[in-house]
Amino acid sequence: MACTVHSSLPLGSGDVPPLGRPMTRCECAGIAFDEAARRMQAEGLALEQAVRRSGCGRNCEACLPDLRRHLAQAAAAASVRG
């Protein structure tokens, strides 16, 4: 599966949404974003710690905007569940 090219604008800028469907895994590292979120929750990691520890983004970085968004949403959902 090929990587999807995304805008270089920072998350939350609202100017230009990512092109195409959001990615759900890092093809380079072979890790699904749900797995990275599970690890983040299980290990009590902050968002950027989870990004670094996942191994995602070390090659092409195409997944990083979607990974950060996915992990932030997962963290928010976990805090609501308490």
Question: What is the predicted pLDDT for the residue at 81?
Answer: 77
Question: What is the predicted pLDDT for the residue at 19?
Answer: 65
Task: Give 36-45 pLDDT, tens digit per residue.
Answer: 999 999 999 9
Task: Give 56-70 pLDDT, tens digit per residue.
Answer: 988 899 999 999 999
Full-model pTM: 0.70
Average pLDDT over residues 15-31: 80
Could you write out the DSSP letters of every residue in the chain? Answer: -PPPP---SPTT--SSPPSSSPP-EETTTTEEHHHHHHHHHHHT--HHHHHHHHTTTSSS-TTHHHHHHHHHHHHHHHHHH-
